[in-house]
Chains A and B, each alone.
Chain A
């Protein structure tokens, strides 16, 4: 596959860019693969990529019912951070974040990782304690974060209102190398990387049934025919329960709509990512200039990629209170994604009741940041049949044992 570089662009400019080749081919399905990954979102593609890169398993198909990256990977607010409280979480998110640091070069595709700094505002004493606890935990986990006072918050976000009548800003948890990345590029870059190793990415191909014998899956039925496999990785986010049902088990997951919206583009207004969890809103500005804003989740099962209007109101109210100048900006577009919420709001990377099916789901409102780390850990699980240390605590059995990984205790939210 041709490498991308500034020279390649210059060369192509001379011939009106008529010479670029496909970033990933559109192959016809083979009858059988070593591994089928269902779901060409970031997590599915990264799983395939690291199966090839770390384990040399390249006879892999990634099956996607729509267009690759069209699920939550293509519709999230792109926040990347690893300042989680619990050890298992911070381990996998930090693995992901550190992979993001070199991802563009690794993939030869600029995913525009932008470690511009991430702030989680503390607006109650309770939040202050929660975030201080996180800073202390992060210190032992090898993650660089720090607690900053209101003045430093103001320096980083000049438009912030520190003295809101209700919730003054008491400080913030800062992760300087948290930030954002270009969401589509992450999916596209991994897809190109997979294709370069000869893997098949089969789009417009929906898995409609899973055939298993003696507790082992043998093949899947798809809208493009029956395809055999030795191992099956289910990585379909909001549709995990649907796939699990086809495989014959139930998950501790509910699918709900999470909404996001963007403003019209404006000149740089905010250079960092800010999350304000007391009032429920988070905000960053994309390289194109729009404010990218995320809000609340509907509390009911929803597979519609639309959400309820009141969450938009809640979010905007909260953000205007904290960032008063945004009041005269306008909402350009709103949309939703179907997120998979687990019983403890932490993800699942697990073996399943079916021997050679592995599941990766439950990233809920916060899995974009995890994509490289999750793919890495999932590849290990699929290749070895057993979780490695990154995935070890995220097995399904934790729900039976009462061994939850609850992140909301410090942050109140899990994005």
Chain B
């Protein structure tokens, strides 16, 4: 059972206090999207065996959504940051690059 530090309230919460919310940084496809764009937005998932950017809600806590960068095999946590952003913070990207030089990036 994993533990993540909520960037909003600073609590290091265990999984039972959190709710997972799937892949982060998806771009919403609205009414004008093509079928392919809409399908991709709703379903196509990167699902990497490696670094994942995933949404979590501190549900049994401050109730806020945040994003965790985590390794999907080792469960190493590279960092967490508030969900109110469209891309991961630069310093976090640096941290991950340093840990995994072969990492192909978050997109």
The answer to whether A and B belong to the same complex is yes
List B contacts of A310 (CB < 8 A). 1, 15-16
CB nearest to A308 among chain B residues:
B1
A399→B43 CA distance, assembly (Å): 7
A299→B18 CA distance, assembly (Å): 11
Q: Which of A252, A303, A399 contacts B49 (CB 8 A)?
A: A303
Stretch at the interface among B5-13, B33-41, B83-91, B92-100: B33-41
Known: A399-B43, A400-B39. A241 touches B48 (CB 8 A): yes
A250 B42 Cβ-Cβ under 8 A: no
A301 B39 Cβ-Cβ under 8 A: no
Q: For residue B79, give the distance in angstroms from its CB to the closest CB of chain A.
A: 16
Interface centre among B1, B16, B20 (most CB of A within 10 A): B1
Known: A302-B72, A400-B36. A241 touches B16 (CB 8 A): no
Interface size on A, residues (CB 8 A): 23
Q: For residue A353, give the distance in angstroms from its CB to the closest CB of chain B.
A: 11
A99 part of interface (Cβ distance < 8 Å): no
B19 A308 Cβ-Cβ under 8 A: no
Beta-carbon contacts under 8 Å, A22-43 to B? none
CB nearest to B43 among chain A residues:
A252
A115→B20 CA distance, assembly (Å): 37
List A contacts of B72 (CB < 8 A). 255, 301-304
B44 A300 Cβ-Cβ under 8 A: no
Q: For residue B75, give the distance in angstroms from its CB to the closest CB of chain A.
A: 7
B39 A253 Cβ-Cβ under 8 A: no
Q: For residue A75, give the distance in angstroms from its CB to the closest CB of chain B.
A: 17
List A contacts of B48 (CB < 8 A). 241-242, 245, 301
CB nearest to A244 among chain B residues:
B47
B67 part of interface (Cβ distance < 8 Å): no
List B contacts of A255 (CB < 8 A). 47, 49, 72
List B contacts of A302 (CB < 8 A). 72, 75
A310→B73 CA distance, assembly (Å): 19
Q: For residue B63, give the distance in angstroms from its CB to the closest CB of chain A.
A: 17
Known: A250-B40, A310-B15. A241 touches B45 (CB 8 A): yes
A241→B1 CA distance, assembly (Å): 24
CB nearest to A239 among chain B residues:
B49
Contact residues of A with B, CB < 8 Å? 239, 241-242, 245, 250-255, 298-304, 308-310, 343, 399-400
The 8 closest A-B CB pairs, nearest first, are A252-B43, A241-B47, A299-B20, A250-B44, A308-B1, A300-B20, A343-B43, A400-B39
7 contacts between A and B (CB under 8 A): A252-B45, A253-B45, A254-B45, A254-B47, A255-B47, A303-B49, A309-B1
